[in-house]
Each structure stands twice: as C-alpha cells, then as structure tokens.
Amino acid sequence: MSDNTTPLAPERGWRNARPQPTMPEVYRSLKIPKNVSWFRKFLAFAGPGYLVAVGYMDPGNWATDLAGGSMFGYTLLSVILLSNLMAILLQALAGKLGIVTGRDLAQACRDHYSKPVTVGLWVLCELAIAACDLAEVIGTAIALNLLFGLPLMYGILITVADVLLILLLQNKGFRYIEALVITLIGTVGLCFLAEMILARPSMSGILNGFVPSAEIVSNPEMLYIAIGILGATVMPHNLYLHSSIVQTRRFEQTELGKRQAIRFATADSTIALFFALFINAAILIVSAAAFHASGMLDVAEIGDAYHLLAPILGSTMASVLFGVALLAAGQNSTLTGTMAGQIVMEGFLNIRLPAWLRRLITRLIAIIPAVIVTAIAGESGTAQLLILSQVILSLQLSFAVIPLVKFTSDKRKMGAFANPAWLKALAWTVAVVIAGLNIYLLVQTVGGWLS
C-alpha cells in the first residue's frame, strides 16, 4: 500500500475505513532517514510542535497575561505553568492519536460519534476558531497600527494575505512553513528577553509567583483572568492541528516505527511548548514589573501597554520591541489558525474544497466578525474582546479534550498504544479540572448577568 492510499475496510475500533488526509499535498511528504543518529532523527521529526506552540503565544494570551500581571503582579505565573503542563500532556496525546490511527481528532470524532453530535462538535470548534482568529487578527492589526500608524480596519484586511502565503509555502514544501514559524517564534522570544532585561523584575516575586496560591480560587476577578489564561494557553483547535500535521512525516508503519515517531513527536512538542511557557511568563512578568509595581493595576489594553512601556522603563526600544513581538506573534497565529480551520472543516464534515477556497473561507470566518467589532467598538473595546475570546476558547476546550482522552485510552482504537492506567488517570483528571473550571466560570458569568 502506498503512502497516499487508504485501507478499503474499517479498522478495528472504527466504523469506517481510514479517510483521506485533510492536507493531502503535504501528507507523509517528509521522509525520515534510516541508520542515522537519534539527533538526526529528532531533527527530522522536529517542526510540528512549533506550529502548535504558536497558538500558545497568540495576541489573546497577551491580553490575559497583561491583565493578570498589572492587576495581580506575579501571582498568576503558577496558572501559566499549570496550563502549560496540561498543554504538554494533551498535545502529546493528540500527536499519538494521529500517528497511531492515521486520523486527526476531527476525523476520529466523525468516525465515532453520530452525525448530529459530529455536526455539534464542528459548530463548537468553528466558534472557538472564530474567537481565536478574532484575537489574532485584532492583535496583528493593533501591531500594524502601533508600529506604522495604519488604521485598525486596514490592518485587519491585510491579514487576508496569509492565505496566499500559506499556499505559496505549502507548494514549496511543509518545511518552509515550519522554518517561517520557528523564525517568528525566535523573534518574539528575543524581543521579550530584551524586555525582561529592561524591566528588571523581582526574582523573589517571580519564584513566589510560580507557587500556587489559594487566592486564585477565592478571588472572583483573579479566577476570571486565570481561566482566561487557561483558555489562552490550552488551545482546543491545536489538538486538531497537531493530530494532523504529525502525519507529514513518512515514518515506518510498524509498531516500532510508530513508537519511535510518538517519542520524537512528543519531545518536539514538549520543547516547543517550553518556549511558549517562557514567552507567556515573560509577558506577565514584564507587565507586573512595569505596571503593577508602578501602581497601574488596570493596564489590559495592548495599545496602552505599548505606549506606557517606554516612559516607565526609560527606553523607546521597550515599546518598539513590544510592537515587533506582537506583529510576529499575530502573523504566526493567523497562519496556523488558517491551517487548523481547514483540518476541522474537512475532518468533521468531509468537505473537499480547492485549497485557496477553503483557506479563504477560514480566514473570512475571522475577518468578518473582526471588521464588525472594530467598526462598532473601535480601539477602546479590543482588550475586553481579546480576554472574552480566550474565555470562549476555555469553555469549548472540554469538547475537544474529552474525545481526545477517550479515544487514546480505548484499546480497541489504539491497540498496544492505548494510554496506560497512570496516564489515563492523569489525562482524565486534567479533563475533569478543565470541565469543572469552565462550569464554575459559566455559573459566575450567568449569575453576574442576572444580578
């Protein structure tokens, strides 16, 4: 059987035959070399993890991290750390699902659940992608406005160009997309390393911030921001994305080959997510050191942070670095968000459209709400919208996490690769914690509306 064909009969544990890949142009396009060192093999597998990590440092994260740092100092660093550890576990499971079954998470849902449930999951996922893309599009537009004075509306419309960029890069090869993403991540990381040096944060405050505090749960305002950070860190659409793009590697379709692929893919995503942890923590630390320490407890808008950093830190470079990092993060996130939208639409609905059209549709799902919101709210409402978008993501998260844990724990679907008892217990604990926090948030939000 060739790399691009699929079995004609259903596999054990699945109702249907393995579907066609959602990105056939890059499916199993990168060959894994044999008889080379483990480091060479690791480099061959490295890449998908960084595309996933992009979603963990998008402009939505910036809004929640800035708000958390300015309002509560270093306290919510523990939430960023906990969220990142959850993300490492869930992304490892997503990669394993794609490698073992040859299905991405959306295809697995379609193959397991009834059609009404599948359509419902698809609608929820599209809402989450729209919320995420709204944050990314607005973030990119804000960066263009801050750096070049470009009106927000023009900046939003410019983000459509990433559709053409993805088409160009995918035609050249998936490695070009990965190289661009890694370059932009490096840009963001270097900018915030410089910001932290300029901000001179309290090392004792940072260390204490990584220790969980009971106040996070008892303080409603702090809990709201904390759940927003959780929603911004553990991204539901990234689980669909990762389970698909690990299949760009042409590894051996044997038990040994799959085990090796799982090991290297997990290492790739774990290392990449530690870069995301550094960047998210750095945003909150800079906000705490610059704003909270100066008594500015309500700096949640990205534009305000940009304008205040230079006078507070005593360097115009502080604001420029902030703007450059925001632009890199926003463009990176729109690029991978568009890919995730394609995977979700094709995986859940089995709709096959021309590459340019399906990406344009995905982009418009974000562009249209962003244009409407910007026309109505202008710049003043962007911070609240960015934080709200992350809370929406958090509420949708369980609808991706629970199927993922269920599928990877099922021996009929995963065979010898099913989660062992300890991993199953840990994964379900994470799923229950996420669901519990989301229910609490929903009750608090509805209660606030009714009161």
Domain of 361? 36-450
Residue 6 is predicted with a pLDDT of 45
User: Which band of pLDDT confidence, cut at 50, 70 and 90, is reported for residue 40?
Assistant: very high
- Domain for residue 26, yes or no? no
Higher pLDDT, 418 or 179: 418
pLDDT range class, residue 2, cuts 50, 70, 90: very low
pLDDT in tens, 317-329: 888 998 998 888 8
> 288 falls in which pLDDT band (50, 70, 90)?
very high
Query: pLDDT tens-digit profile of 362-380?
Result: 667 767 777 777 777 666 6
Nearest 5°: phi and psi at 420? -65, 170
Residue 17 covered by a domain = no
Residues sharing a CB contact under 8 Å with residue 436, sequence separation 6 or more, in sequence order:
none
Q: Considering the domain boundaries, does residue 16 fall inside one? A: no
Note the pLDDT of residue 86. 92
The verdict on residue 116 lying in a domain is: yes
Closest CA to 141 of 362, 369, 393, 356: 369
Q: What is the CATH number of the domain that holds 116?
A: 1.20.1740.10
Which H or E run contains 109? helix 105-112
Q: Which of 125, 76, 134, 84 is nearest to 105 (CA)?
A: 125
In a domain, 14, yes or no: no
Q: Please state whether beta strands 249-250 and 30-31 pair in parallel, antiparallel, or not at all (unpaired).
A: parallel
Share of the chain above pLDDT 70, in %: 87
Domain tally, the chain = 1
**Nearest-angstrom CA–CA distance, 91 and 269:** 7
Maximum mean pLDDT: which of 66-75, 314-323, 437-446: 66-75
Residue 420: predicted pLDDT: 96
| pLDDT classification of 7: cutoffs 50, 70, 90 | very low
Q: In degrees rounded to 5, what are phi and psi of residue 156? A: -65, -45
The better pLDDT of the pair 402, 394 is held by: 402
Strand partners, 250: 31
* pLDDT, averaged across the chain: 84
Q: What percent of the chain has pLDDT over 90?
A: 39
Q: Is residue 40 part of a domain?
A: yes
Let me know if residue 7 belongs to a domain.
Answer: no
pLDDT at 3 over 60: no
Question: Residue 2: inside a domain, yes or no?
Answer: no
Q: Supply the pLDDT for residue 385.
A: 64
Distance CA 7, CA 165 (A): 33
